[in-house]
Amino acid sequence: MKIVVTGITGYVGAALAPHLLYAGHEVVALVRSMPARPVVGVDYIAVGEYTQVTDWAPYLQGVGAVIHLAAVAHQNADAATYTRMNIDVTRALLAGAQAAHVGQFVFMSSIKVLGEETPAGQPFTRNSTPNPQDAYGRSKLAAEELVRESGIPHVILRPPLVYGAQVKGNLQALQRLIQKRVPLPLASIHNKRSMVNVERLAAMLVESIHAPQLRNGTWLVADAHDYSTPEIVQMLGRSIGVHPILLPCPPIMLQILCAAIGKQHIYQRLCGNLQVDAHETIAALAKSGAVL
């Protein structure tokens, strides 16, 4: 099948490309500019900046599926940027897919459309009511609605934090502190956070194209095991061969410190729970013979 991917040069996209090629698909990547290290076997098409007025239809002729990964996720973006890149670009891409009669649209959303935190032992499920807490989460929820309203057969995935080789974002920042052997006062935290390995997520994206049980659904994806913050630190340390320095500190002290410097969100991410129940996704895939 000919598959078009946006955002293939990002963290998830880089992991996805080999999975699609191994599965025998023809992979076309719509990129802003040609990458310095292209993946052998991927056909790259430089389309310039993604905009809300880009005519995507000419790039989507004869395409069996579109996997839309491209998005703005970093925290320092403003609401207008999230709207332009995460909502308006998705709208334009869907219009192109409709015009080109694309058979399927796979959209990478985020668990953040459901919220930032869960009570201990009460994970988000497919039936949880969306409650995004920031502009990014709201933009992804709005984009989801566009996908559902398009009439194109689709699959929407809501992953939590993605990790793996060469981690990015907050995990990368934490890994740098570990590498510098900075003592981290996190040993006393006993929370539970769901994450998903980037290779597992890439495999899930491939299966989304083939599994009829996932068609026109919104699905959660996560590892089977939830992690505490100290476990995450230990895992990051092992990946770079460094033994982290973890010190005990009452979580209340971390909360007071984060509040004092106006960084309450850091406390929530370090000490709060965010659990995801992906059992329905696993069960649906099992009906297609897939095991993730």
**Residues identified as active-site:** 136
In degrees and rounded to multiples of 5, residue 39 shows phi and psi of -80, 125
For residue 129, the 8-state DSSP code is: P
Residue 181's SS3 state is coil
For residue 185 the two structure tokens come to 């006062």
The span from the CA of 284 to the CA of 266, in Å, is: 35
Question: Length of the chain in residues, anyone?
Answer: 292
In degrees and rounded to multiples of 5, residue 44 shows phi and psi of -95, 135
Judge contact between 275 and 160, C-beta under 8 A. no
For residue 83, the 8-state DSSP code is: I
Q: Enumerate residues 6+ apart whose C-beta is below 8 A from 120.
A: 191, 192, 273, 275
The span from the CA of 210 to the CA of 17, in Å, is: 16
The span from the CA of 207 to the CA of 159, in Å, is: 15
For residue 84, the 8-state DSSP code is: I
Strands of the chain (E only): list them: 2-6, 26-31, 42-46, 65-68, 104-108, 154-158, 161-163, 195-197, 217-220
Residue 221's SS3 state is coil
